[in-house]
Amino acid sequence: MTKKEQQKEKGDKEKKPVTTVDDLYRHSTQYRLWSFTENQLKERRTKVNVQGKRRALKKLKVFCERDDNDHKFETSRDLLQLVSEDEELLEVNYYVDVLQKLSSQVLKLPSQVRATAVAFLKRFYLVHSVMEHHPKKVLATCLFLAAKSENCFMAPKTLAEYLGSKTTPESILELEFTLVQALSFTMLCHHPYRALHGFLFDFQGILIHRHPNGVVVTRKDESTGEKKKLRIKINKDRIMKGYVAAREWADVSLKGDTAFLFTPPQIALACFLKVDEEMTVAYLTYKFVKDQHKDRQEEGGKEEEEEEEEEDSDDEDNPETKFDNDEEKDENKTEEEKQKAKEVEKEKELEKELEKEQHIQFYKKMIKTLRSCIRTMDSVRGPTLDEAKTIDKKVHYCINPDKLLKRKRQEGADGGQHDAKKIKLEG
């Protein structure tokens, strides 16, 4: 076995699997418990909605069967308007928006706390229905628990003062265990903000420091409609501007299902792609395709230089035999060995091409994923004010069916008095 083969075998043995940040995230509770496909998310919401309807009807039945009550369940059932699956989602989205405005404009909480509170609220309603717990009450507990879990503690009394007279410290703490139980006791949340910060520096490293002469981008000519390749220089101001705008889109991503369907780095890159597509595509192209191929060539060149240096050092130790060794090598090389060397070289070239193709496929898959993430962010729809009022009314009566029956009885009594007065006036 030659010295080169021994070194290669030693290097292969020393190679150990490296744990990446992505591997760490895939072992987190957020990925294991709160990451879904679109179908899984749909199935879960359907299950929760059915559960909420069943419990709302059970509450109504219990109230109707009380001794001091003359309401019949069969007739009262038609009066209760149950909340549909789509209405539940609109209700949650509405209160997510309320939570974001409250935490940013009134409470002035850090973005990490705001995002965690939103995550808690959305996760809670993948376990419980709005027909079981009203979002207005759960919202306050989510804020309290998020502030506590993100080391930004806020006393229940202080929080209650901000939320109005109807919210008390007792009402905030009342649902704390229910919320923690619904979260499966997992309070650590991963958000796209840290990934955005990391990409800010990586964008500068790839697009500015590694390529100071600029990067090649494809632009569409507005007059002719043709795509042309241009070399442009991307400066720090452009990257910083993109980062600030991407953070705003990271806030928008909290509203929909983005956090359930995509990882935080994917969301962060999608936000960059949304605000500056040209810059982000250039970064991804150089990061995963062009620079990978360039690094491979540089590594290959270094290996060849090291081999030549090793051969030269061996010859320097025996200067008398240097010329003789070269002649012997040429003589000993048979046609079979030459052919074998050509085949080895050809295999190396095929490996390089295959690796390059893999990088290209990975890049295409990533772009497709990021565009899907953007579509998810854009598809978020909150209810109009009238829709929100209508759904909120349904939710209120599903949680408190006794109030619905009392109201109907009151309306019936008022209607009877009104009819009596009308008959008297006409007579």
Residue type at position 368: K
DSSP characters over 111-150: HHHHHHHHHHHHHHTTTS-TTTS-HHHHHHHHHHHHHHHT
More confident residue, 416 or 406: 406
Q: Alpha-carbon distance 20 to 416, whole Å?
A: 73
Contact 128, 48 (CB under 8 A): yes
> How many angstroms separate the CA atoms of 413 and 416, rounded?
5
Q: Which residue has the higher pLDDT, 84 or 423?
A: 84
Decide which of 3.30.420.40, 3.90.1150.10, 1.10.472.10, 1.10.1060.10 is the CATH code for 36-189: 1.10.472.10
Share of the chain above pLDDT 90, in %: 55
CA atoms 164, 169, 171, 175: torsion sign:
positive
Residue type (1 letter), 123: R
Q: Tell me: the pLDDT tens digits for 178-199? A: 999 999 999 999 999 999 999 9
Tokens 């191929």: give the residue: 293
Q: Which helix (DSSP H) or strand (DSSP E) does residue 127 occupy?
A: none
- Residue closest to 22 by CA, chosen among 279, 195, 157: 195
Structure tokens at 11: 């290097």
3-class DSSP state of 228: strand
Q: What pLDDT sits at residue 416? A: 46
Q: Quote the CA–CA distance of 306 and 4 in Å, as a whole number.
A: 10
Quick one: pLDDT at residue 425?
32
CA distance 207 to 222: 25
Which is more confidently placed, 421 or 286? 286
Contact predicate 206/292, CB 8 Å: no
Q: Tokens 């744990």 appear where?
A: 19
Count, in order, helices (H) and strands (E) of the chain.
21, 2
Domain extents for the chain? 36-189, 191-294+349-383
Q: 204-255: per-residue pLDDT in tens?
A: 999 999 988 888 888 877 777 788 888 889 999 999 999 999 999 999 999 9
Residue 421, pLDDT score: 39
Fold of 191-294+349-383: Cyclin A; domain 1 (1.10.472)
The yes-or-no answer to whether 36-189 and 191-294+349-383 have a common fold is yes
pLDDT digits (tens, 9 = 90+) for 363-383: 899 999 999 999 999 998 889
Cα angle 317, 320, 324; round to 5:
110
User: Which amino acid is residue 411, in one-letter code?
Assistant: E
The amino acid at 144: F
Confidence (pTM):
0.81
